[in-house]
Amino acid sequence: MRVILELIRIVFIFLFLGGVIWVILNHIYQVYGGIEEYRWIGGLGIYIAIFVLYRNSFQFSGWYKGKGRKKLPHRMTAVLVSASVLCILLPLPLKYILG
């Protein structure tokens, strides 16, 4: 039962938190205009960031208490956070580079 509750919690975190951040980021993208085709890259960055946040923080406060709960290695965390920031910022220059 705890596993099912944790899966529901994961889906809720990804959908709710991802949705809220997406709305904020979408408003920022609309200010610059012309990046509608590249917004999905920012969305990918949001979900990478939420994944890192879940693995390094949220998984330790949930219902599931089984084996295999450990943080991401520091190097992997740095790579994923860097990729997330890059994905979130990438639509802005793509607008000017690709027209």
Q: How confident is the model at residue 73 (pLDDT cuts 50, 70, 90)?
A: very high
Per-residue pLDDT averaged across 32-39, rounded? 82
pLDDT at position 45 is 96
Reading phi first (left if > 0) and then psi (alpha if -120 to 50, else beta), residue 50 is in alpha
pLDDT at position 99: 64
Q: What is the pLDDT of residue 67?
A: 77
pLDDT band with cut points at 50, 70 and 90 for residue 22: very high
- Cα distances from 32 to residues 22, 71, 77, 86, 92, in angstroms, run 16, 37, 30, 17, 8
Q: How far is CA 70 from the centre of its chain?
A: 19
**66 has a pLDDT exceeding 80:** no
Res 57: pLDDT: 87
* CA 41 to each of CA 35, 36, 49: distance values in angstroms, whole numbers, following the listed order: 10, 10, 13
CA atoms within 13 A of residue 79's CA, in its CB half-sphere: 5
Is it the case that residue 11 has pLDDT exceeding 90? yes
How high does pLDDT run on average in the chain? 88
